Amino acid sequence: MTKSGESVVSVLNRLIETCKDGEEGFKACANDVKNAELKALLLKHSAECGAAAGELQAEVTALGGSPEDSTSLSGDLHRRWVDLKSLITGKSEEAVLNEAERGEDVAMKAYKEALAEPLPANVYAIVERQFHGVQRNHDQIKALRNIARAS
C-alpha cells in the first residue's frame, strides 16, 4: 500500500472508531430513557452509526487496509463518565439528550477533520454524505434537547 493509501486508511479508521462510539453512545442513551418514541429514535441513530462504520470498513478493506472494529478509548471514557454522572444527577431526558448532543459534536469535528484531508473522490463522497447524516442527527438531538429543557 502506498503512503497516501496508508493515510486514507488511517483517516477512515479514525472515523470508524467515531461511528462505533456513536453506535454505542446512542444505544446507551436509549437504555437511559423511558419515552418509547425517543428510545426508538436513539436506537435508529445507533443502527445508522453502525451502518456507517460498516461502509467505512468496506472502504478500508478495498484499499488493502485492516479496518478498525472497536470504539475509541475517549468514547469509552465518555460513556463511563455519563454513567457516573447519571447516578448522581438522574437520567432525565434533557440530561441524556445533552450527552447525545455532546457525542454528535465530537463526531462532527472528526468528520470535518477527515474532509480536510486529501481523500480520493469516491472516499470523499462517502465521508461527505456521512457528515451530512451526522449534522442531521446533531440538529435533531439538539432540537429535542431544547424541547426537553423547555418542559
pLDDT tens-digit readout, 49-103: 999 999 999 999 999 999 988 765 665 555 566 555 555 556 788 888 988 898 8
Fold category of 3-150 in CATH: Ferritin (1.20.1260)
What is the rounded CA–CA span in Å between residue 84 and residue 75?
Answer: 14
User: How many C-beta atoms surround the C-beta of residue 43 within 10 A?
Assistant: 15
Q: Of 5-14, 36-45, 86-95, which gets the smallest average pLDDT?
A: 86-95
**Angle of CA points 77, 107, 25, to nearest 5°:** 45
pTM: 0.87
Is the separation of the CB atoms in 15 and 110 below 8 Å? Answer: yes
What is the rounded CA–CA span in Å between residue 8 and residue 127?
Answer: 11
